[in-house]
Amino acid sequence: MSTGLIVSISGPSGVGKGTVIDRLREVLPGCGHSISVTSRAPRGQEQDGVEYFFRTKEEFEKLIAEGEIIEYDQYVGNYYGTPLTPLLKMSKSGTNVLLDLTVAGSLALKEKFDDTVTIFLLPPSMDELRSRLSGRGTETEELVDKRMAQAKGEIAQAEKFDYVVTNRTVEQAVEEIAAIMKAENRRFRRSRDAVETLLAQ
Ligand code: 5GP
């Protein structure tokens, strides 16, 4: 059996990564996603082991020391990291796995597993990004300005990713990412077994 793809999606805050990933999982049933560990507090209805594994900073640092966190980053003062064991288990069983990581997180994961498929999600324009960030209604103008400056720095790193997809509409972005995954699954190195089986007949 071939291993599942590890697909890491990044993009600036407000670009709509979460929505795109949720929709991808609806249209690609059987596609798994990596549940990250974080030291931030749960928001709203979030539950431990569903959206995240919620841990204290000390517990998080212990997981790092044990080598159980394959990559991690800090975002707004909290740790976020990808647990190694479930990721490997899913991929080895042939399940494609989606990850929602910071830009640095995707690049760090690719360093560790060079087979990782990295996708950068772009906003259609900087004006659109600003209006999406302001539209959340949760951020002050000053915070929006700060996130916009951060977004520019992140977009400048898009060239380090394998693919860029513009999130004009969720449906279009999802369709493009699904197409990327289909093509990635047809790479020769991932289809070697099929070829070898035929040659052995
Ligand atoms: P939030 O607090 O809004 O759920 O997530 C904040 C940011 O953390 C998002 O940009 C998300 O992509 C990132 N993130 C979530 N889990 C991980 C992780 O395991 N590793 C890294 N590097 N970033 C993560």
Q: 114-162, pLDDT tens digit by residue?
A: 999 999 999 999 999 999 999 877 778 898 999 999 999 999 999 999 9
CATH number of the domain within which 120 lies? 3.40.50.300
DSSP 3-state of 82:
strand
Cα 26 from chain centre = 16
pLDDT tier at 6 (50, 70, 90 boundaries)? very high
**Mean per-residue pLDDT for 48-74?**
97
Q: What is the mean pLDDT of the chain?
A: 95
Strands of the sheet containing 163-166, edge to edge, are 32-33, 97-100, 6-10, 117-122, 163-166
The pick from 6, 19, 36 for probing ligand 1's pocket by mutation, whose C-beta has the most ligand atoms within 8 angstroms, reads: 36
Number of domains in the chain: 1
The pick from 102, 106, 147 for probing ligand 1's pocket by mutation, whose C-beta has the most ligand atoms within 8 angstroms, reads: 102
The pick from 72, 101, 136, 139 for probing ligand 1's pocket by mutation, whose C-beta has the most ligand atoms within 8 angstroms, reads: 101
pLDDT tier at 1 (50, 70, 90 boundaries)? low
Please state, in angstroms and rounded to a whole number, the distance separating the CA atoms of residues 164 and 26. 21
Q: Whose CA is nearest to atom 3 of ligand 1?
A: 13
pLDDT above 90 covers what percent of the chain?
90
Could you tell me the pTM of the whole model? Answer: 0.94
Q: Does residue 104 or residue 193 have the better pLDDT?
A: 104
Task: State the closest ligand 1 atom to the C-alpha of 104, by its place in the atom list counted from 1.
Answer: 22
DSSP 3-state of 173:
helix
Q: What confidence score (pLDDT) does residue 190 get?
A: 86
- DSSP conformational letter for 77: T
Protein residues whose CB sits closer than 6 Å to any atom of ligand 1? 36, 40, 71-73, 75, 80-82, 100-102, 105
Q: Whose CA is nearest to atom 18 of ligand 1?
A: 81
> For residue 177, is it within any domain?
yes
> For residue 49, is it within any domain?
no
**Mean per-residue pLDDT for 91-98?**
95
Per-residue pLDDT tens digits for 7-45? 999 999 999 999 999 999 999 989 999 999 999 999 999
> For residue 64, is it within any domain?
no
Q: Domain span at residue 167?
A: 6-34+95-199
Instruction: Give the count of alpha carbons within 13 A of 174, CB side only.
Output: 15
